[in-house]
Structure 1
Amino acid sequence: MSSIAAGQDPGHGRTTIRRFVSVLRSRPVASVASVLLVILLGNALYLLQIRNNDPIIYSSGLGTAARGILAGKHTIDPNDGWTAQALGRLAAESWAHGHVPLWNTFEGLGQPLAGEMQSAALFVPFIFLQLLPNGVFLMHVALELVAGLSTLGFLRTLKLSWVAAVCGGCLFGLNGTFAVMTNAPFNPIAFLPMALWGVELLIGAARSGRRPRAGLWFTALAIAFMLFAGFPETALLEGVFVALWLLVRLIAIPGHRRSALVWGAVSALAGLAIAAPILVCFKDFLGFGYLAYHGDAVNSLSYPLRQVSSLLLPFGSGGPGNPVFGLQAGYLTLPAAFMAIIGFAGQRARSVKILLAAILAVLLLNMFGFEPVKVVLDATPGLRSILIYKYGLALIEFAVVILAAFGVDDLLHSRVRRRSAIVALVLVAGYLLVNLGYLHHEGLLKNWSWSAIVIGWTVLGLIVLGLVTLRSGVAGRAAVLSAIAMVVVVADCAGTYVVPQLAASSRTSVDLGSVRYLQQHLGASRFYTLGPIQPNYGSYWQIAQLNANDLPVPQKYATFVMGTLRPAKGTSTRAQVADQFAAYQLVPFDPDISQQQELLTAYGQRQSAFRQAAVRYVVTAPGVASTKQAARYGLRLVYQDSKTNIFEDPRADSLYSTSGADCRILAQAPSSVRLDCTRPATLVRRSLTAPGWTATTDGRSLSLSATPNRLYQQVTVPAGTSTVTFDYRPAFFETATIASLVVVVVMVVDVAVVILLRRRRATDVRV
């Protein structure tokens, strides 16, 4: 009675609840929720901390990890720690403190941070997740969600059913590359389906004669994010895929092809304009950078032929440490391949399916060293310098995902022919039998119980799929059969995705005592590590580290390492460590005690160069340096724990020094110094000289030059007290940023206008 008296309708609340429940039960919402749930469940072992994949535990040199349930490593590349985490965290911290992360003062002699690319320094907003504990993993989960949901939307624009689109979204959200390759190439993969979604929206708009607003901005944002994501090789391969897709899809719209092609070009240019800041940074760094083997024709590399065995049965001979899988950057699953064959055999979208088959054929043949294909790819601009055999696996997976979604959709509409199902069964069964015969013949089935579980699970899934597809024509069962197929394929994908996680540790710890000591005492100097605090974790903790493990690196730094820091020629130590010094490394990966002892001897031979590079502290594992040897080099033990010994060299130069006058350095930081001089003096800053650096004092520009060895920066400072500030900006960075912001503003205004017009029309209709 009181509610009625207050003027409230008691039925209104119930109506609202019914509408809310109706929305939740709608197919779009249920489909999105399904993809989200499957991806989160696939990562549940990490999200719930049952297993721990924090790279800092495995790659920093300060972590202690227990053996996982399975032998092997949960990722094929520790650069998920050395570059993606360590440099990405520094970039996120820079943003958090209001600085654009353009330069890294904590790596080597200093080098570009954004232009290095692998840090994903300008990958806003995703890079902000790196501020959280194990943020690199959280960023990857976010990207998997983007990949899964974008695939869902893309497949719907192909007029596939919700069940088929959900299947595709789950498969690509938990694809094999995401499972095992967690370093920088991971990032751009998520935006391939987003770009194709945009292309399909462009095609749809062109067909109806409308302006393709959604398609234009979807495609532009996808291209921009591919580039901001921080791995141009992956982005270029995806760009080629998208371009081929657009050209093939033009066949479907006679009479509107020119319009669609023009809008496709406009969207690509808009995407490049949005990404202009990172492109400028990258180009600027390439002007004085060293690419090592990435500057050569690396597409000549291939996987050994035996890895055909692990391509569709990745863990048949063991967990992620099995000898067949090795460092393979992804995989397929047999149930998904089975449904892809079914999808390819369907009669719809033949031009698209032929394109996907051609892409699969080219990439697979290239992957295993078929020379004619390599020659063709090498002739394509930009591709000869990409590890296509490795980074192309994600494209192979995506092509299979699309075809598998077509297969599930054909099941739903009772379009699967019995002959196609039989052919698919024969092909996958033949692969499985030949594979098992090969593994047995080579003695690679070491753990029979494990192999029996994996193969049994796979065979069971294939049997179910075989029965489902063979009964495709049964009246009234199409919806059930397609749902069963989707569940089987997705369950197999998710189960395979979890396998590498079982190699991760549950009990972990990181000893940060040495880091805290250096943070308190290092000041404006550098440290040199022979093992603990692996490169580039100095950047992670913001303590300047002479070591660098990165590509590209500045050419001057590479020359400095090769020509100055290496042991003296003709010495036994030179011969011992010659193979350990890469042009961009001072120490080998995870050196043992004997290697560190050799490196310490090499340090002693070149100690004057280390001192001139402001190396005040040397970090080793316990037991590397004897008291006598340390004393011979003038080193003093100042810190020790179970992981590290830290030695101080009191005779090391400071980051800043002056000549030509009596000067007192009053305060110093990596990018600024306050000093008092009796008359004009030369200030040397032992940071790498490179294009883009400027120096100012009290608002006045100073003439910045290089020291006689062309390595470090120097300026002439005035008499009296002054503060000199150093700043790095790549050429045209401001212009590129303005261009990017202008395009983003145009996009926001364009979208806002559309939304306002639609609301006005809706209001007019109601009135």
Structure 2
Amino acid sequence: MLTRLRPHLWPIAALILLPVAASALFVLGLRSNNPADVWSSLTTPGSPTLLGGPPGYWDASIGLLTQPLARLSASDWLRGVVPWWNPYTGIGMPLAAEMQTLSFFLPFVLIMKYWQGWFVVKLLMQVIAGLGTYALMLQIGCRRTPGLVSAGLFALNGAFLMEPHAMGSLAFLPLILLGIERSAAAARSGAAQGWHWIVFGLAYSLYGGYPEVAYLDGLLAAAWTLARFATLGAARWRFAGKIILAVIIGLALALPLVVPFLNYAAQSYLGAHKAAYAVDHLPPMLMPLALFPLIYGPTGIHASAGWVAAALPTLPLVKLGGWFGLTAVIPALAALLRARTDPARGLIIGLGMFLGVGLARCYGVPGVAFVLNAIIPDLGLLNTARFLWPALSMAVFVLAGIGLDRCVTCTLSLRQGGMIGALLVAVIAAVILPDRAIITGWYHFASPPVRVTIVLGTVFEGLAGLVILAALAGLNPVAHRHRARMIAAAMLLDAFVVAALPQLSAPRPYRYYTGGIAYLKAHLGLARVYSLRPFGPDYPAGYRLASIDDSQLPVSQAWSDYIRHHLDPYDTGMMFVGWWKAPPGSGQGRTILFDHVRDYAAIGVKYVITSPGQISPFLRSVSLPHPDIFAGAAALGAGDSRDTTLAAGQVAAVAATLTRIDHVAVLIGTYDGSSTGILSARLCAGALCAGGTAPLATAQDDAWLNIPLHPAIDLTAGAALHLRLTHVTGAHPVALWLRRSATGVTMPALRLSQTLPGGSAMPVYHDPVMSIFRIRSYHRYFSATPACRLSATGRDKASAECATPAILTRQEAWFPGWRARLNGRAVPVARHGALFQSVALPAGRSSVTFSYRPRGTRLSVTLAGLALALWAGCTIRPYRAFRRRALPHGGTGSSPALH
């Protein structure tokens, strides 16, 4: 075995080191790609970055969902608990069945116990993807160098940057294809087995947490299977039997996750999966990225401020699932051009057809989506235009390896090289010329470092493509034996640069503030929090703290409906947070919370979290002046004051929203935190005045400073208001940001507010990243009607002492699969209202425990166990038969090398 492996040691080592080298700054800790840096909002802003692209990931789902909930799943496993249920997000929801949580992606999910575990898993997935592709290329019959090129390209493919939350599913595609190839070889020779990699790859693709990618990768596997089936002659039915057996076993092994997922999806809101994705496609402006990944700068870069200010078209990178690169497309075209005379022509033609149909679907060729949705089950539910790209990339990279391998011994003719060149020129012109205004405009508004990236990246891609085409046609002076290595070096360098460039978009490690987490751990109990920005969504679950914020898809339809009807009428259904798609003038969720605070308290919300400098969500506010036009700033030194008079017309506009004023907020600048002392406010309405102060040492720079006033000022129609702001003490000045009203009056930017009636909330904690408010009256997690004496030892266990029979209500989402035991006896869990659970209690003392297991779990686990036993039996039996043939009767010794 070692003798056979020795020639492949350096390619294997290269494929292990390649992803690590492409992320060297992250591995060494010099730059940070931790999604929690940004999406947990527990940090202060990081250091400036050289480029403006994504810091090692693009899709925020890796942070808003996968990172924290995979951490929760790992924590459950390490506690000896199967991660079926997540009680910490929303009002509770399935955990494993959400899929993107990677809950059953063992053993890899255990690494996600650590916040940077996702990055370690990503590197492992890239290594698995690379090694699997290398083995596949060798099985096809390619040499080591072409095999290394294809493997390196897939290990560094754009999907790992654009959708890292799907990494667990896309990494195992090469192993499925390897199993198909080995099955074809075994069918030709009449040998047993050959199909085991299909089982392994298929099961892990599903356990990898992204069913869309697994399904669409399966389409490539199906096309590959059909291509081999068509060329196997009499062995084709033996081959088909192997594939069918492998697919049955692989799917059966994944049933413990697939069945809960299907049950959950059937009762969930699915967003765009219901209709929009059926016809969605990539816009023309994204076409150039398939060949020139750096034509807009670092892949995934956000629009510059100038581009946004000019109201130019948005670059919809959220739809981008990957790219090929010109250097990979050229040898792939060489393979397609010579397919008719190639020994693998069936496979090459099959991959070419898959690419043609797939690209037509992704780019919206009329009629293609309609036909495919009609003949492929459930394809219309998937985001095909985005998540088909891993499969498309694999097809291109395999063809590129085949094309390179064939040109090692037989270069392209001048006619063939000319045909490829002419085709590329036509394609490049077709995808770039229609969007040249966008491309040049993007360059014009880009920063100097991004411009350098655009020029160097695009020029290198073009020159490398020319060199590769010339080498494939034998037009370069490089010796014949070195031609393949030169082409390989150019292709891998291109992929490496594109994959490594995001490191220059990442900041240095951030500083975290976790005092608020410690406060919540000490005081939250079984209650929940709601965040208007910091510490959410899903990140509280990573710390085992309950929050009603969520970022899920699928998400329970009942919970989604309740949010829209009772908590937030503007909710999108996919992301319930206080800062996402709030309506204009709503204060990013503050006004909505103000109007519905009793509904939030009714579902157990005890604390509300806001950003420092954000106006309290328990204040109704009016901003002045309106409209506001920037008018500079005024510095107040110690003892300085600034007076502002609000005319009767402005007071009338305020009185339309407020009945009294008990807070005033001022937009201030602290000169990067150097302001000290106290800022006082004195507001007068005629002879009645109110005053208050706020410290400047803890104030945020370029943020609102809120000053409580006492007593409250009642608004009187027709009366003017006079405000005096004074920097009472302090060695360093404070800046008041000024605005100019429509009448030309210059005044500080102000917010006048009144407190929610009844004093129902109070501030309890403040630090540089969050402020926490406590709702005084909220609904407890366990309650009983009629009242009983209750005590809870956790979310799943309660004790009750009731004088009469009662109904115990538990504020956890009702869902099929919940069970309860009352004094050791199984009792039904009823649905209480629209959302929660209830259990009937007898008079006297009762002990109730709750547990959750999805419907169909026993059957699916049993079938998975039988499939595992069948797989093991199919593996062991041929091995024993081989041993009997290999060893003489009664003899001992080593067996021949296994093939």
TM over 0.5: yes
Letter in 2 for 1:351: G
What is the rounded CA distance, in whole Å, between the counterparts of 2:30 and 2:882 in structure 1? 48
Displacement of 1:388 in angstroms is 0.8
Contact in 2 for aligned 1:58/1:65 (Cα 8 Å): no
For residues 589 and 761 of structure 1, do their structure 2 counterparts lie closer, same or farther at Cα, with a shift above 3 Å needed?
Answer: farther
What is the rounded CA distance, in whole Å, between the counterparts of 1:233 and 1:60 in structure 2? 26
Q: Which has the higher helix share?
A: 1
Name the SS for the 2:848 alignment partner: strand
For residues 301 and 588 of structure 1, do their structure 2 counterparts lie closer, same or farther at Cα, with a shift above 3 Å needed?
Answer: farther
Displacement of 1:158 in angstroms is 0.7
Displacement of 1:754 in angstroms is 4.8
* Deviates further, 140-149 or 40-49: 40-49
Tell me which of 257, 265, 271 is aligned to 1:286. 265
Q: 2:813 maps to which residue?
A: 688
Q: 1:16 maps to which residue?
A: none
Tell me which of 188, 200, 207 is aligned to 2:188. 207
What is the rounded CA distance, in whole Å, between the counterparts of 2:810 and 2:597 in structure 1? 19
Q: 1:651 maps to which residue?
A: 777
Letter in 2 for 1:172: F
Q: 1:337 maps to which residue?
A: 329
Q: 1:614 maps to which residue?
A: 604
What is the rounded CA distance, in whole Å, between the counterparts of 2:453 and 2:238 in structure 1? 56
Q: Deviations over 1:50-94 (max 9, x none)?
A: 221111111112233333221132333111111111211111111
Displacement of 1:392 in angstroms is 1.1
For residues 471 and 617 of structure 1, do their structure 2 counterparts lie closer, same or farther at Cα, with a shift above 3 Å needed?
Answer: same
Tell me which of 66, 69, 94 is aligned to 1:112. 94
For residues 585 and 484 of structure 1, do their structure 2 counterparts lie closer, same or farther at Cα, with a shift above 3 Å needed?
Answer: closer
For residues 643 and 632 of structure 1, do their structure 2 counterparts lie closer, same or farther at Cα, with a shift above 3 Å needed?
Answer: farther
Q: Residues 286-305 of structure 1 correspond to what in structure 2 (within 5 A)?
A: 286-305=265-284
What is the rounded CA distance, in whole Å, between the counterparts of 1:635 and 1:485 in structure 2? 67
What is the rounded CA distance, in whole Å, between the counterparts of 1:645 and 1:237 in structure 2? 45
Q: 2:47 maps to which residue?
A: 66
Q: Deviations over 1:452-475 (max 9, x none)?
A: 21123223322431332232799x
Q: 1:148 maps to which residue?
A: 130
Contact in 2 for aligned 1:288/1:554 (Cα 8 Å): yes
Displacement of 1:218 in angstroms is 1.1
Q: 2:839 maps to which residue?
A: 715
Displacement of 1:704 in angstroms is 1.4
Q: Deviations over 1:112-138 (max 9, x none)?
A: 111111112111122112123311111
Letter in 2 for 1:670: R
For residues 632 and 485 of structure 1, do their structure 2 counterparts lie closer, same or farther at Cα, with a shift above 3 Å needed?
Answer: farther
Displacement of 1:661 in angstroms is 4.5
Q: Residues 671-686 of structure 1 correspond to what in structure 2 (within 5 A)?
A: 671-686=796-811
Contact in 1 for aligned 2:582/2:588 (Cα 8 Å): no
What is the rounded CA distance, in whole Å, between the counterparts of 2:556 and 2:435 in structure 1? 45
For residues 472 and 763 of structure 1, do their structure 2 counterparts lie closer, same or farther at Cα, with a shift above 3 Å needed?
Answer: farther
Identity %, equivalent residues: 26
Q: Residues 166-315 of structure 1 correspond to what in structure 2 (within 5 A)?
A: 166-183=148-165, 185-212=166-193, 215-315=194-294
Name the SS for the 2:547 alignment partner: coil
For residues 459 and 531 of structure 1, do their structure 2 counterparts lie closer, same or farther at Cα, with a shift above 3 Å needed?
Answer: same
Q: 1:12 maps to which residue?
A: none
Q: Deviations over 1:544-573 (max 9, x none)?
A: 111111111111101100111136xxxxxx
Letter in 2 for 1:315: L
* Deviates further, 378-387 or 166-175: 378-387
Q: Deviations over 1:246-277 (max 9, x none)?
A: 11101221111112112211111101100010
What is the rounded CA distance, in whole Å, between the counterparts of 2:161 and 2:568 in structure 1? 38
Contact in 1 for aligned 2:830/2:837 (Cα 8 Å): yes
Q: 2:354 maps to which residue?
A: 359
Contact in 1 for aligned 2:579/2:588 (Cα 8 Å): no
Tell me which of 317, 320, 324 is aligned to 1:326. 317
Displacement of 1:412 in angstroms is 2.1
Q: 2:859 maps to which residue?
A: 735
For residues 512 and 761 of structure 1, do their structure 2 counterparts lie closer, same or farther at Cα, with a shift above 3 Å needed?
Answer: farther
* Deviates further, 67-76 or 298-307: 67-76
What is the rounded CA distance, in whole Å, between the counterparts of 1:389 and 1:440 in structure 2? 23
Displacement of 1:362 in angstroms is 1.6
* Deviates further, 414-423 or 545-554: 414-423
Tell me which of 462, 465, 484 is aligned to 2:465. 462
What is the rounded CA distance, in whole Å, between the counterparts of 2:405 and 2:885 in structure 1? 36
Gaps of 5+ in 1: 1-18, 568-577
Tell me which of 557, 560, 572 is aligned to 1:558. 560
Write out the 4+ residue segments of structure 1 that deviate beyond 6 Å after TM superposition. 433-436, 591-596
When Rg is computed on C-alpha atoms for both structures, the one with the higher figure is 2
What is the rounded CA distance, in whole Å, between the counterparts of 2:189 and 2:430 in structure 1? 50
What is the rounded CA distance, in whole Å, between the counterparts of 2:778 and 2:870 in structure 1? 54
Gaps of 5+ in 2: 304-314, 620-707, 709-753, 894-899
* Equivalenced residues, count: 729
Q: 2:74 maps to which residue?
A: 92
Tell me which of 20, 32, 35 is aligned to 1:55. 35
Contact in 2 for aligned 1:180/1:500 (Cα 8 Å): no
Relative contact order (alpha carbons < 8 A, sep ≥ 6): 1 or 2 greater?
1
Q: Which has the higher strand share?
A: 2
Name the SS for the 1:726 alignment partner: strand
For residues 741 and 478 of structure 1, do their structure 2 counterparts lie closer, same or farther at Cα, with a shift above 3 Å needed?
Answer: farther
Q: Does 1:489 align with 2:479?
A: no
Displacement of 1:601 in angstroms is 2.5
Q: 1:413 maps to which residue?
A: 409
What is the rounded CA distance, in whole Å, between the counterparts of 1:538 and 1:170 in structure 2? 37
What is the rounded CA distance, in whole Å, between the counterparts of 1:117 and 1:234 in structure 2? 12
Q: 1:571 maps to which residue?
A: none
Q: 2:591 maps to which residue?
A: 601
* Deviates further, 86-95 or 583-592: 583-592
Displacement of 1:632 in angstroms is 4.9
Q: TM-score under structure 1 normalisation?
A: 0.90
Contact in 2 for aligned 1:107/1:544 (Cα 8 Å): yes
What is the rounded CA distance, in whole Å, between the counterparts of 1:408 and 1:766 in structure 2? 45
Q: Deviations over 1:671-692 (max 9, x none)?
A: 2223333443221001111111
Letter in 2 for 1:268: V
Contact in 2 for aligned 1:129/1:136 (Cα 8 Å): yes
Q: Deviations over 1:709-748 (max 9, x none)?
A: 2321010224444331111111110221122123223333
Q: 2:455 maps to which residue?
A: 452
Q: 2:365 maps to which residue?
A: 370
Tell me which of 691, 703, 706 is aligned to 2:831. 706
Name the SS for the 2:812 alignment partner: strand
Q: 2:643 maps to which residue?
A: none
For residues 322 and 90 of structure 1, do their structure 2 counterparts lie closer, same or farther at Cα, with a shift above 3 Å needed?
Answer: closer
For residues 740 and 483 of structure 1, do their structure 2 counterparts lie closer, same or farther at Cα, with a shift above 3 Å needed?
Answer: same
What is the rounded CA distance, in whole Å, between the counterparts of 1:433 and 1:69 in structure 2? 31
Displacement of 1:148 in angstroms is 0.7
Letter in 2 for 1:369: G
What is the rounded CA distance, in whole Å, between the counterparts of 1:164 and 1:723 in structure 2? 67
* Deviates further, 696-705 or 163-172: 696-705
Displacement of 1:317 in angstroms is 2.9
Contact in 1 for aligned 2:332/2:396 (Cα 8 Å): yes
What is the rounded CA distance, in whole Å, between the counterparts of 2:770 and 2:581 in structure 1? 13
Contact in 2 for aligned 1:238/1:395 (Cα 8 Å): yes
Displacement of 1:618 in angstroms is 0.7
Letter in 2 for 1:450: T
Q: 1:78 maps to which residue?
A: 60
For residues 147 and 722 of structure 1, do their structure 2 counterparts lie closer, same or farther at Cα, with a shift above 3 Å needed?
Answer: same
Letter in 1 for 2:443: L
For residues 517 and 661 of structure 1, do their structure 2 counterparts lie closer, same or farther at Cα, with a shift above 3 Å needed?
Answer: closer
Contact in 1 for aligned 2:99/2:210 (Cα 8 Å): yes
Name the SS for the 1:464 alignment partner: helix
Q: TM-score under structure 2 normalisation?
A: 0.77
